[in-house]
Amino acid sequence: MVRLFLNSFNPINTNLDFKEFYMKLFQRSILLIPIILIFNIVIAEAQIERPIGINLAGIVDWSPEFVFVDIMKQSRNWIAHDNIPDAEWDSGVNIPLADNGYPLQLPYDNGVDPPQIVRTVMLTELTDVFPSGEYRLISEGQGRLQLWGAASVTLESPIDTLIYLDNSSEILAMELLESNVNDPIHNIRLVMPGFHNTFETNPFHPDLLDFLEDFQLIRFMDWMKTNGSELSHWSDRNSISNYTQTLDQGVAYEYLIQLCNLLKKDLWINVPHKATDNFISQFAQLLRDQVDPSLKIYIEYSNEVWNEIFSQNQYAAQAADSLGYTGDPWDLSWQYTARRSADMFYLFEKEFNNQDRLVKVIPGFSANPWVNNFILERFNNPAYNLNGVTADVLAIAPYFGSIANSIGEAGLENSISINAILDSMENSLPETYMYMLENKELADDYNLELHAYEGGQHLVAEYPYCDNESFVEKLLDANRDPRMEDMYCRYFEQWYETIGAGLFAHFSSHGGYSKFGAWGVKETFDDVNAPKYLALQNCVFNANIMTSTVQLNTVEYEIRLFPSRVLDKFIIEGAPPMSQINIFDVKGTLHKNMQVESFTQVTTEELIPGMYFVHVIDEKSNLITVLKFIKVPS
């Protein structure tokens, strides 16, 4: 992976391209290759047959998806409590905070309540998931703090020391006991083992970056805390300087941009439903100026405004009413979705000179194409679309397997087997396929692409069945069953090939399974054999071929490597005569050197799982292209 090579080149703060990257590698003699004329180098691009995106899980203290190597960034809001032994967990007292989120003075005395101090938690219910080892604890400002749970220590600030954390604990908490009003404690960092000296230039956890490598797009709905957001003014958004990224305002937008720029992934943002015109314009300016110009920016008004379970639905109905639209609350929210989507697209277009960078999304309801037609009709009506803007995509969430409640209603929750649950899920697939087809026909009618903003299995029970622990465990085990891989593969085949739809943004990345659902394609970073993830590897990622077009003398060659995710062999096709390949791992170690023909099968059984680079070298020893593949565990 490029990121791993670039640690010494500060990739977060540079737009270093592949050719420059390889020249730096050769200048530093990282790769031991015979004299090479690298000026002919061509870096291969993926030929995307099945475009795939991922919804990132929200950043919370109980998430097994470590986004940052500084775990302070996933800590909770400060919890105020009385400064006495055995005090109640949360006093509810509001503590004055600086702009960076740190208390201005501790203990804090408002003259009414007992003096207050604060705590936060950083790792909750993640026993054996976070790494044990020495964490680097840094703080600035004068005061005193305490860790308990996975570590037990009290320290004076300022601090720069190593603290051992034991992952057999169910919690890590931090107490701020004292903070000097003239120099309050601030800029606390708690850095995982292995990243003590790189966390500032490489803030993202490498396991997350590895996972994201295979996707073409990242949707940030949960990072942005979209559902129920109260964010309306640009000045109220979160910032990188804040002590945590778990605030109700969502993750700092600069981190979204930084991540996508680093990995060269398109980004999908959900504009808060209460955002003012000024907010939208400033957001557009930020994205215009800071997102890599080669990347697409998907823009969607909030998330599922048509869905009555979310507060944005009620807000939209009231806003439509205030504009003079008429109808029942549900169709008022649909009307406002059309109106505000058009407003948002116009404000973005005003800020973007190159509108090809934008992908304008109309969100739809998969199971009810009539609603989607209602929204699209109004979007194309000048009474709603005041500036005559156009959209690019109708997006739906074609989940399958919403059968848990039906099992409960039939009184079978205690007797049903896991195989019978999976049978019911399979029987639900044709209905989902019908919704896909109806929405594709609707999108075609409006000259729009059909994408999936979310999708995957939907095997989750609602009340009262979600309180039946035995039944819930069966639902979770069904998600872990090998049959799930086959269902997912057929599901993707239908979406991409039979329906002919476009990008599919799976919901979601990593997450622990519970009665609230089994949404993660994996439960932890290490859960690489999860059936849903295997389906992505074998039925989506593998369809996306590495391809490179090069010209030697007057002859043009299209060199292809497939599959891109390799179990025991891959194919090199289209190489020039008398070519050879060198296979390197991410550390620059040469593992294989061999001559290839126009069609050559290359075995990889001796390679350990990981990322590899394939250098294609012509008969004159010129490096002409670089392709890559991922060796997956058997």
Tens of pLDDT, residue by residue over 185-234, are 999 999 999 999 999 999 999 999 999 999 999 999 999 999 999 999 99
449-452 vs 393-396, strand pairing mode: parallel
User: CA-CA distance, 259 to 276, in Å (whole number)?
Assistant: 26
634 vs 464: which has the higher pLDDT: 464
State pLDDT tens for residues 367-395: 999 999 999 999 999 999 999 999 999 99
User: CA-CA distance, 565 to 558, in Å (whole number)?
Assistant: 20
Q: How far is CA 244 from CA 75, 86, 139, 239, in A?
A: 6, 26, 14, 9
Cα of first residue to Cα of last residue in the chain, in angstroms, is 20
Whether 496 shows a pLDDT value over 50: the answer reads: yes
For 60, the 3-state DSSP assignment is coil
User: CA-CA distance, 221 to 272, in Å (whole number)?
Assistant: 10
User: CA-CA distance, 31 to 573, in Å (whole number)?
Assistant: 25
Q: Look at residues 387, 406, 378 and name the one whose alpha carbon lies nearest to residue 320.
A: 378
- Note whether 53 and 219 are within 8 A (CB): yes
Give me the sign of the Cα torsion angle 546, 55, 66, 633: negative
User: CA-CA distance, 51 to 526, in Å (whole number)?
Assistant: 24
What integer pLDDT is reported at residue 212 of this predicted model? 96
Angle at 506 between CA 43 and CA 422, to 5 degrees: 130
Q: Look at residues 533, 591, 527 and name the one whose alpha carbon lies nearest to residue 565.
A: 533
Whether 435 shows a pLDDT value over 80: the answer reads: yes
Which amino acid is located at 578 in the chain?
Answer: M
State pLDDT tens for residues 59-70: 999 999 999 999
What integer pLDDT is reported at residue 9 of this predicted model? 31
Whether 36 shows a pLDDT value over 70: the answer reads: no
* Residues paired with 450 in a beta bridge: 394
Give the pLDDT band of residue 145 (cuts 50, 70, 90). Answer: very high
Lowest mean pLDDT segment, chosen from 17-26, 36-45, 237-246, 395-404: 17-26
Whether 458 shows a pLDDT value over 70: the answer reads: yes
User: CA-CA distance, 199 to 194, in Å (whole number)?
Assistant: 9
- Note whether 595 and 572 are within 8 A (CB): no
The tokens describing 24, both together, are: 């730096």
The tokens describing 35, both together, are: 């004299």
Which distant-in-sequence residues (6+ apart) come within 8 Å of 357 by Cβ?
288, 291, 293, 295, 296, 297
Residues in the chain: 634
Backbone dihedral angles phi then psi of residue 149, each to the nearest 5 degrees: 105, -105
pTM of the model: 0.86
Give the pLDDT band of residue 42 (cuts 50, 70, 90). Answer: low
Give the pLDDT band of residue 323 (cuts 50, 70, 90). Answer: very high
User: CA-CA distance, 413 to 450, in Å (whole number)?
Assistant: 36
Q: How far is CA 613 from CA 187, 397, 631, in A?
A: 39, 36, 11
What integer pLDDT is reported at residue 122 of this predicted model? 96
User: CA-CA distance, 267 to 485, in Å (whole number)?
Assistant: 27
Cis peptide before 563 (omega within 30 of 0): yes
* Residues paired with 190 in a beta bridge: 137
Lowest mean pLDDT segment, chosen from 42-56, 475-489, 611-625: 42-56
- Note whether 298 and 269 are within 8 A (CB): yes
Q: How many CA atoms lie within 13 A of 130 on its CB side?
A: 33
The rounded mean pLDDT for the chain is 92
Distance of CA 562 to the CA centre of its chain: 25
- Note whether 58 and 50 are within 8 A (CB): no
Whether 17 shows a pLDDT value over 50: the answer reads: no
Whether 31 shows a pLDDT value over 70: the answer reads: no
Element (H, E) at 490: helix 483-493
Q: Look at residues 492, 506, 474 and name the one whose alpha carbon lies nearest to residue 404.
A: 474
Lowest mean pLDDT segment, chosen from 132-146, 170-184, 613-627: 613-627
Instruction: Write out the E strands in 248-366.
Output: 266-271, 297-301, 358-363
State pLDDT tens for residues 336-368: 999 999 999 999 999 998 999 999 999 999 999
Give the pLDDT band of residue 599 (cuts 50, 70, 90). Answer: confident
Q: What is the mean pLDDT of residues 31-51?
A: 59
* Residue carrying the six token digits 């979204």: 256
Give the pLDDT band of residue 514 (cuts 50, 70, 90). Answer: very high
User: CA-CA distance, 323 to 317, in Å (whole number)?
Assistant: 10
Q: Look at residues 478, 387, 498, 375 and name the one whose alpha carbon lies nearest to residue 434.
A: 498
Give me the DSSP letters along 332-388: HHHHHHHHHHHHHHHHHHHH-S-GGGEEEEEE--TT-HHHHHHHHHHHTSTTT-TT-
What integer pLDDT is reported at residue 611 of this predicted model? 83
Buried b (16+ CB within 10 A) or exposed e, 481-508: bebbbbbbbbbbebbbeebebbbbbbbb
Q: What is the mean pLDDT of residues 115-128?
A: 97
State pLDDT tens for residues 271-304: 999 999 999 999 999 999 999 999 999 999 999 9
State pLDDT tens for residues 45-56: 678 899 999 999
For the range 376-379, what are the long-range contacts, defined as Cβ-Cβ under 8 Å and sequence gap of 24 or more?
376/338, 376/442, 376/446, 376/448, 378/334, 378/335, 378/338, 378/339, 379/338, 379/341, 379/342
- Give residue 537's region: left, alpha or beta (phi > 0; psi -120 to 50): alpha
The tokens describing 300, both together, are: 């969607």
State pLDDT tens for residues 86-101: 999 999 999 999 999 9
Give the pLDDT band of residue 169 (cuts 50, 70, 90). Answer: very high
Continuous H helices in 73-113: none
What integer pLDDT is reported at residue 29 of this predicted model? 34
Q: Look at residues 524, 519, 609 and name the one whose alpha carbon lies nearest to residue 207.
A: 524
Whether 11 shows a pLDDT value over 50: the answer reads: no
For 430, the 3-state DSSP assignment is helix
Q: What is the mean pLDDT of residues 503-521?
A: 97
Neighbours of 47 (CB within 10 A): 15
The tokens describing 274, both together, are: 């209460």
1 vs 364: which has the higher pLDDT: 364
| Residue 80 DSSP label | E
User: CA-CA distance, 265 to 39, in Å (whole number)?
Assistant: 26
